[in-house]
Amino acid sequence: MMVSSGHHVLLIEDDEAIRELISDVLRAEGSVVTTATDGTEAVHLLDQHSPDDEFCVILLDWMLPGLNGLAVLRELQARGTSVPVVAMSASRDDLQQAIWAGAHVALAKPFEVEHLLALLAKHCGRDHG
């Protein structure tokens, strides 16, 4: 399942191996990937970008150093961002919290790359804004 070429994804993930794997897979599918290594960096990126205009989806690790996934999600909500957020965590409790807090999708780690690509095809197959 192909993600439409040229779509821009914001990936917020502190684990370097996971961040590089997801970035490599998405770039191979033709997506542009902007990464943040923690919640604080993610908020700085939001200051520099207009999420609704630039990103088709935000992949958000829930267990981040500094500002955690919940804090980043609340920041996105405070800005009125409508970009779908995919919360990622190995903890079922965290994923339940993410859905209650307003994440669009909860993705349990570890996950199949095909599952991630299917989610992105769903959310990035159309334009937002």
Residue 54, pLDDT > 50, answer yes
List, for residues 21-33, the tens digit of each pLDDT value: 999 999 998 999 9
Domain spans, the chain: 8-124
Pick the CATH number of 8-124 from 1.25.40.10, 3.40.1350.10, 3.40.50.2300, 3.90.1150.10: 3.40.50.2300
Mean pLDDT of 59-74: 96
Residue 128, pLDDT > 70, answer no
| Alpha-carbon separation of residue 53 from 7, 32, 50 (angstroms) | 11, 14, 5
List, for residues 72-91, the tens digit of each pLDDT value: 999 999 999 999 999 999 99
Token pair of 87 as six digits? 């919360």
What pTM did the predictor assign? Answer: 0.91
121 against 87, higher pLDDT:
87
- Residue 109 corresponds to which amino acid? K
Per-residue pLDDT, 49: 85
Neighbours of 65 (CB within 10 A): 11
| Alpha-carbon separation of residue 100 from 1, 42, 74 (angstroms) | 29, 21, 12
